[in-house]
Amino acid sequence: MNKTIQLQDLGIKDFKDTWDYQETLFKAILDTKIKNRREDAGLETANHFLFVEHPHVYTLGKSGDLTNLLLSEEQLAEKEATFYKINRGGDITYHGPGQIVGYPILDLDNFFTDVHKYLRFLEEVIILTLAEYGLKTERSPGETGVWLGVGTPFARKICAMGVRASRWVTMHGFALNVNADLGYFDHIIPCGIKGKAVTTLNNELGVDNVDEAEVKQKILKHFSELFEAEFIKPEH
């Protein structure tokens, strides 16, 4: 089992371009698995992890409800935001500057074949990362992601998650609000959940800006420990 993960930080990159890139990596892993099954080729499957920051964009999961987007096409253009219906689970969410997005494209045959466990591990990575900033975050029963104030009138989501898995290969992932502009969440019903707020790390800490590079390092540390994996940077 290959437990090395090729790490790339794509910087600021258009959502659709990144989605296409994810699909390319995803398909390559699937093709290897199919070849192994048909020809008993014994080839090692790759694992990837992409960090990225998207320009303003709203994305709707395959089971999502379009009425959870509260903007017209004209209003989207005014806000310099784009919109895509995509092939992950979950409902609607927002991505934009000040948000750390992570896309693990893993062959779970290299780790464990359990998508429920995979989602819980992703949540745990974020929970452990935010604990390093003194925040007590947790899961909300029946609602994927990471929250503060669960069970209180002040429940608020700090990290959204939505994944796709096929033949135990994953794509899409998580979006952690670090220094994001929360105003953009006012134009959707986030994840289709009414009456619950969204927050950011810098808001919770009461500071203007949190060092995103530092947050990424903490995420990688906890991810590698939980998944018993080693991150490497591609040679090319």
Pairwise CA distance, residues 197 & 152, whole Å: 12
88 is in an annotated binding site: yes
90 is in an annotated binding site: yes
**Active-site option among 148, 191, 198, 210:** 191
Half-sphere exposure of 128 (CA within 13 A, CB side): 17
Q: Can you tell me the distance from the alpha carbon of 157 to that of 161, in angstroms, rounded to the nearest whole number?
A: 11
Annotated binding residue 197: no
Confirm whether residue 145 is marked as ligand binding. no
Alpha helices in the chain (DSSP H): 15-39, 73-78, 115-131, 201-205, 212-227
The gap between the terminal CA atoms of the chain, to the nearest Å, is 23
How far apart CA 43 and CA 41 sit, in angstroms, is 5
User: Is residue 92 marked as binding?
Assistant: yes
Q: Is 174 annotated as a binding residue?
A: yes
Cα distance between residue 26 and residue 6, in whole Å: 13
Secondary structure (H, E, C), 58-104:
EEECCCCCHHHECCCHHHHHHCCCEEEECCCCCCEEEECCCEEEEEE
Residue 173 known to bind ligand: yes
Whether residue 93 is annotated as binding a ligand: the answer is yes
* 114 in a known ligand binding site: no
Residue 159 known to be catalytic: no
Q: Confirm or deny that 89 is annotated as ligand binding.
A: yes
| Residue 149 assigned ligand-binding role | no
Specify the amino acid at residue 90: G
Binding site residue list for substrate: 88-95, 160-162, 173-175
Residues with active-site annotation: 191
Residues making up the binding site: 88-95, 160-162, 173-175
